[in-house]
């Protein structure tokens, strides 16, 4: 059976007989691995579609045990990502994140559409691309069923208006915002991890969640805020999704 689907290349590796195994994030079928004998270095249309940061259309033969790419055609190449170290680092972290959170064969069409928006925005972004990556990750938390609780204390349900001024704490261990009383209690637990940032963490996370991704092409956070957001998101995604992609590019400074 031949299936036709849009997709993004997540990674590839050499396998036997001069073939490659390509891991694709496809719109219709989710993540899948497919073999191909197309040589990536050739100048054919199909070869271009196997390069990183490319959105393409694939004809895939579905055998009894494996997929095999028959042909492919580029829809859009976001080649400018490879020309800038900041774009490249964050787009690579994005690819690694997708590869880790997506399950084989489980379609995630909303995440696919958001991923295309991300590639488009990163390739057009004129400032640093960190905030685009953070916004992408925050938006996917809901899709992955691990959105943090932001409307009330994750432990007792108290509304944040009653927390007291300046007491907007975020509990990574609890999975959302936490009131001062519950925070004092939770701090006694050995694996507790609670942040009390200098900025409004509720507003910040809602902002990332609610605005279109494109908004963040122009948003540059202050370094101290950006680093704290990164740290909280790193700890959160590490704990709930088992991914550590934000750690690998932590502290990257590009002027």
- The residues of the shown chain that bind Zn ion, judged by CB under 5 A, are 153, 155-156, 158, 179, 182
- Given the structure tokens 């208006």, which residue do they identify? 161
Of 179 and 219, which CB lies nearer to Zn ion in the complex structure?
179
Of 8 and 153, which CB lies nearer to Zn ion in the complex structure?
153
The strand pairing partners of 19, in sequence order, are 15
- Given the structure tokens 């994750």, which residue do they identify? 154
Of 61 and 167, which CB lies nearer to Zn ion in the complex structure?
167
Min dist. Cβ of residue 179 to Zn ion (A) = 3
Q: Which two tokens stand for residue 155?
A: 């432990």
| 97/185 Cα distance (integer angstroms) | 33
Q: Which residues touch 65 (CB under 8 Å, ≥6 apart)?
A: none
Q: Which of 62, 70, 17 is nearest to 46 (CA)?
A: 70
Of 143 and 156, which CB lies nearer to Zn ion in the complex structure?
156
| 14/47 Cα distance (integer angstroms) | 14
Min dist. Cβ of residue 171 to Zn ion (A) = 10
Alpha helices of 102-129 — where are they, by DSSP H? 109-124
Min dist. Cβ of residue 148 to Zn ion (A) = 15
Q: Exposure of 169 by Cβ count < 10 A (0-12 exposed, 13-18 middle, 19+ buried)?
A: buried
Longest dimension (CA), the chain: 66
Min dist. Cβ of residue 181 to Zn ion (A) = 6
Min dist. Cβ of residue 183 to Zn ion (A) = 8
Per 3-state DSSP, the chain is made up of helix, strand and coil in percentages (nearest 5) of 40, 25, 35
Min dist. Cβ of residue 238 to Zn ion (A) = 24
Of 7 and 176, which CB lies nearer to Zn ion in the complex structure?
176
Of 81 and 152, which CB lies nearer to Zn ion in the complex structure?
152
């Amino acid at each position: 059976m031949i299936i036709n689907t849009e997709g993004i290349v997540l990674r590839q590796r050499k396998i036997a007989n001069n073939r490659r195994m390509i891991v694709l994030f496809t719109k219709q079928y989710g993540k899948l691995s497919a073999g191909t004998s197309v040589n990536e270095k050739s100048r054919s249309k199909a070869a271009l579609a196997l390069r990183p940061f490319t959105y393409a259309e694939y004809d895939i033969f579905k055998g009894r045990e494996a997929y095999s790419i028959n042909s492919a055609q580029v829809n859009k190449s976001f080649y400018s990502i490879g020309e800038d170290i900041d774009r490249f680092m964050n787009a690579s972290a994005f690819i690694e994140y997708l590869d880790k959170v997506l399950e084989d064969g489980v379609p995630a069409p909303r995440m696919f559409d958001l991923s295309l928006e991300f590639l488009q925005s990163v390739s057009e972004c004129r400032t640093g691309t960190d905030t685009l990556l953070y916004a992408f990750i925050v938006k996917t938390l809901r899709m992955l069923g691990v959105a943090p609780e932001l409307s009330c204390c994750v432990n007792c349900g108290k509304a944040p208006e009653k927390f007291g001024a300046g007491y907007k704490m975020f509990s990574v261990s609890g999975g959302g915002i936490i009131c001062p009383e519950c925070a004092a209690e939770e701090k006694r637990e050995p694996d507790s991890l609670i942040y009390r940032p200098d900025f409004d963490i509720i507003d910040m996370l809602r902002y990332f969640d609610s605005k279109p991704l494109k908004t963040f092409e122009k948003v540059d956070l202050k370094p101290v805020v950006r680093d704290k957001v990164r740290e909280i998101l790193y700890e959160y995604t590490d704990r709930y999704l088992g991914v550590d992609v934000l750690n690998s590019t932590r502290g990257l400074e590009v002027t």
